[in-house]
């Protein structure tokens, strides 16, 4: 064959998947070289996972498709696994109740439960596998893992929820109107708060109502992942996708920190199911469901709306392109095309109209302020490898710890993500060969790629104004289904030895790594000396109420403390709060400082005076600097002390 024909043959349509695999290998090698410029852990995790996935796909694509080759467990062993899961869940509840919080052994138990569930669709023979029983285990685990810690933890877990529930929702209940959110950006997105207020009236408590409404809805929404996966794959692999999603760290995060993002994720899963099914059928009711969940998202959460618009926009472009350029057999029906494109356009128009009248931090509407913020970020803050302060990309988000453990912990936390990314890359390449409508393949692959770029690509250049950390759980929904597609593809082409390695590593490594990751352990970090806890003790919460009642905050009142504890005073106490700044002698400001016992041992964060100031771990700041002898100790309980300077009085606080 002549040299002139090699390039067209290389790029021919039937070789697109292998061509992309080769490009992926090359791109991974180039991206890995950036590790020489920064210590960012994801510059190792992402290229290695992608490169291994592309190499694996390229290596097995020539094998003849075979019957299912996964090794199977003995029948006697497989039958005991469901019982082991339910016994493990009962033990989990008892252990958390006895200890009062989650500890490393408890996290390992959760990982073992996840491994036992994941092993069933991967390793049990088809004749013995009961999809309904496995699905019941998945949903039961999702609910128990989340609610057991929610009910045992005082107050709430996270930061934003301290505004949403005790301030906004309780305010709605007390006033009998939406006046409590009238001046916030949720005045045009009140759906979450309305649900919470109704649940509070039903259950007699805003906290319990939130947990038993949205808190239950989030884990149970995994049913939509199963339903979506079952449209594309046999039940075995739909179960795998559901398990991958339920045990993902960011999905666990939004089941613990229950805020509008959590409800937005539920609606997104409904949209994902509707678009997938509309690409395969043209049932009219699906269009109504898609429109309903899309508009519900608009009136729930702005970031979730942006994510949904990206997904719907790509779906609309894909179906139109398929209609224009595809063959007759590849086209979706006219009804489905109108439904998907029409829903995108209606959602876009409603979003723009809503955002132009949504208040934010200034007198300008949300849309204007958001565009101005993006423009400022790109013009003055964006820069290649500008990673400081990044929440999503595995940075500490604050002070850095040192030592061998500090070097290993990020790789442990991101190992589950690496596995998910690897099998999803294989799945994305496999989708290009599967007999699905091209518009559906394009929707999945391009949506996952677009979200990946927003989360990690934009962050690489310091563009974080669109809160990329909120996008990850939504991307995980796509990656979980694509990952199941990848495993399905490998099951028919990879050797039995390769499959055995993949199954064992995935079944054990994925849930164990995910459940100990930082975002899945906000209440009680599994690696306690590396990540701060975003939950508080009874004494820490009581201190906020007592201090704010004795020293009532007014418009100018402010207090300093560690991060994240200072946020509790800002959201629940009504103060203006910030992370305390210290120099060699103590606080650099006359504002009151709140000290707590956790600062002596936990990885809470202070700022060290400088230009600019640097984040430091709280234990490195001596208690005498936090509450210096020159300050007055005006309040104390068994864990919290409030110190004021001599110039600060009760009336001026």
Distance separating alpha carbons of residues 243 and 239, to the nearest angstrom: 6
Distance separating alpha carbons of residues 292 and 271, to the nearest angstrom: 9
Q: What's the whole-number mean pLDDT along residues 27-55?
A: 88
**pLDDT the model gives residue 403:** 58
Distance separating alpha carbons of residues 294 and 347, to the nearest angstrom: 6
Please state, in angstroms and as integers, the Cα–Cα distance from residue 201 to each residue in 172, 194, 206, 232, following that order: 10, 11, 8, 41
Helices (H), 279-403: 284-298, 302-325, 334-355, 366-376
**pLDDT the model gives residue 394:** 43
* Cβ 447 vs Cβ 340: under 8 Å: no
**pLDDT the model gives residue 13:** 44
Confidence of residue 616 (pLDDT cuts 50, 70, 90): confident
CA 586 distance to own-chain centroid: 37
Only one residue has tokens 């301290």, namely 162
**pLDDT the model gives residue 64:** 60
Q: Which of 474, 473, 261, 462 is nearest to 374 (CA)?
A: 462
Task: Taking each helix axis as running N to C, give the angle between helix 496-516 and helix 104-123, from 0 to 180 degrees, rounded to the nearest 10.
Answer: 150
**pLDDT the model gives residue 382:** 62
pLDDT at 11 over 50: no
- Tell me if the bond preceding 564 is cis, omega within 30° of 0: yes
For the chain, the first-to-last Cα distance in angstroms comes to: 84
**Picking from 14-28, 296-310, 317-331, 565-579, which range would have the lowest pLDDT averaged per residue?**
317-331
Percentage of the chain modeled with pLDDT above 70: 90
> Which pair of tokens denotes residue 252?
């666990």
Confidence of residue 384 (pLDDT cuts 50, 70, 90): low
3-state secondary structure 214-263: HHHHHHHCHHHHHHHHHHHCCHHHHHHHHHHHHCCHHHHHHHHCCCHHHH
Per domain, the residue ranges of the chain are 213-520, 538-644
Only one residue has tokens 């449209």, namely 231
**Higher-confidence residue: 598 or 6?**
598
Q: Is 5 exposed, middle or buried (0-12, 13-18, 19+ CB in 10 A)?
A: exposed
- For residue range 74-107, list pLDDT tens digits in order: 877 888 999 999 999 999 999 999 999 999 999 9
């Amino acid at each position: 064959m002549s040299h002139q024909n090699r390039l067209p043959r290389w790029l021919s349509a039937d070789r697109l998947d292998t061509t992309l695999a080769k490009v992926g290998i090359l791109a991974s090698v180039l991206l890995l070289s950036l590790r020489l410029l920064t210590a960012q852990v994801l510059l190792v995790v992402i290229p290695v996972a992608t490169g291994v996935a592309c190499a694996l796909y390229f290596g097995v694509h020539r094998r003849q498709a075979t019957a299912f080759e996964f090794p199977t467990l003995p029948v006697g062993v497989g039958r005991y696994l469901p019982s082991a899961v339910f016994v493990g869940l009962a033990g989990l509840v008892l252990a958390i109740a006895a200890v009062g919080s989650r500890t490393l052994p408890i996290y390992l138990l959760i990982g073992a439960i996840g491994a036992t569930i994941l092993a069933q669709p991967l390793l049990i023979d088809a004749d013995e596998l009961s999809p309904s029983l496995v699905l019941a285990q998945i949903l039961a685990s999702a609910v128990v893992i989340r609610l057991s810690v929610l009910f045992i933890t005082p107050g709430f877990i996270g930061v934003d929820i301290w505004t949403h529930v005790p301030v906004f929702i309780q305010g709605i209940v007390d006033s009998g109107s939406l006046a409590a959110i009238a001046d916030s950006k949720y005045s045009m997105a009140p759906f979450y708060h309305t649900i919470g207020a109704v649940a509070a009236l039903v259950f007699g408590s805003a906290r319990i109502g939130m947990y038993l409404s949205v808190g239950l809805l989030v884990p149970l929404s995994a049913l939509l992942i199963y339903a979506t996966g079952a449209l594309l794959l046999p039940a075995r692999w739909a179960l795998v996708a559901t398990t991958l999603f339920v045990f993902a760290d960011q999905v666990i995060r939004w089941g613990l920190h229950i805020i509008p993002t959590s409800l937005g994720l539920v609606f997104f899963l409904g949209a994902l199911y509707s678009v997938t099914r509309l690409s395969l059928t043209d049932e009219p009711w699906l269009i109504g469901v898609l429109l309903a969940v899309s508009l519900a998202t608009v009136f729930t959460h702005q970031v979730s709306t942006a994510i949904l618009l990206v997904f719907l926009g790509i779906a609309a472009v894909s179906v139109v392109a398929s209609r224009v350029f595809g063959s007759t057999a590849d086209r979706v029906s006219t009804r489905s095309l109108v439904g998907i494109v029409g829903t995108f356009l209606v959602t876009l128009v409603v979003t723009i109209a809503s955002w132009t009248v949504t208040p934010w931090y200034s007198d300008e509407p949300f849309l204007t302020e958001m565009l101005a913020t993006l423009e400022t970020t790109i013009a003055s803050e964006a820069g290649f490898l500008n990673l400081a302060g990044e929440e999503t990309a595995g940075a500490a988000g604050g002070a850095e710890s040192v030592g061998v453990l500090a070097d290993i912990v990020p790789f442990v936390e991101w190992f589950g993500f690496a596995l998910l990314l690897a099998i999803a890359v294989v799945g994305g390449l496999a989708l290009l060969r599967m007999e699905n409508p091209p518009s559906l393949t394009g929707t999945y692959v391009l949506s996952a790629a677009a979200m990946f770029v927003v989360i990690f690509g934009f962050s690489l250049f310091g563009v974080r104004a669109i809160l990329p950390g909120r996008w990850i759980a939504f991307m995980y929904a796509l990656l979980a289904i694509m990952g199941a597609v990848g495993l399905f593809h490998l099951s028919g082409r990879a050797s039995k030895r390769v499959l055995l390695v993949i199954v064992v590593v995935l079944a054990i490594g994925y849930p164990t790594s995910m459940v100990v990751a930082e975002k899945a352990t906000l209440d009680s970090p599994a690696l306690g000396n590396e990540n701060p806890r975003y939950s508080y003790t009874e004494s820490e919460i009581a201190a906020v109420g007592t201090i704010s009642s004795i020293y009532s905050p007014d418009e100018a009142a402010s207090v300093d403390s560690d991060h994240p504890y200072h946020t509790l005073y800002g959201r629940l106490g009504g103060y203006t709060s910030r992370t305390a700044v210290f120099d060699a002698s103590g606080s650099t400001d006359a504002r009151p400082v709140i000290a707590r016992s956790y600062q002596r041992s936990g990885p809470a964060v202070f700022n060290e005076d400088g230009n600019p100031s640097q984040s430091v771990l709280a234990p490195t700041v001596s208690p005498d600097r936090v509450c210096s002898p020159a300050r007055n100790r005006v309040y104390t309980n068994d864990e919290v002390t409030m110190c004021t300077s001599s110039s600060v009085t009760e009336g001026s606080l």
